[in-house]
């Protein structure tokens, strides 16, 4: 279980984010805004744009679905559209948590659930909130 001392103390870089939806947005805000957040430039605009440098595309050998990967994120695609714009990066976590960064809209949406979702791919709760965020723009 993720609430055990063993899990909390384990060194698992790909699976060790501990936070809430607000901290997720805070951590990704600079990527959504071309490198700027909190009144300072945390990344160069060029560095923030590198997120979208495609590293691979095709059927993911672990998840078994077509995915595009940029630098550290999944990238929106025809197979998995995350929103209406071209420069959208995303990833999800165990149980259904989701982070979506849209540089075109300067939007960052994070969803962290109170009840774990039983799958590795997609949680409609987070996607529904993302769509509501786009409708509000």
pLDDT at 114: 78
Q: Is the pTM of this model over 0.75?
A: yes
pLDDT at 119: 65
- Residue 69 in contact with residue 89, Cβ under 8 Å? no
The ranges of the chain with pLDDT < 70 are 1, 14, 117-122
pLDDT at 3: 75
pLDDT at 122: 64
pLDDT at 29: 96
66 beta partners: 59
């Amino acid at each position: 279980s993720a609430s055990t001392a063993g899990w909390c103390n384990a060194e698992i870089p790909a699976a060790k984010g501990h936070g809430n939806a607000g901290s997720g947005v805070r951590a990704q805000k600079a990527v959504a805004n071309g490198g700027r957040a909190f009144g300072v430039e945390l990344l160069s605009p060029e560095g923030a744009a590198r997120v979208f440098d495609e590293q691979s595309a095709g059927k993911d050998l672990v998840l078994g679905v077509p995915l595009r990967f940029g630098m550290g994120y999944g990238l929106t695609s025809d197979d998995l559209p995350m929103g209406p714009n071209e420069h959208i990066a995303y990833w999800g976590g165990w149980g259904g948590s989701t982070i979506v960064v849209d540089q075109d809209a300067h939007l960052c949406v994070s969803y962290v659930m109170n009840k774990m979702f039983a799958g590795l791919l997609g949680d409609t709760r987070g996607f529904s909130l993302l769509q509501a965020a786009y409708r509000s723009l």
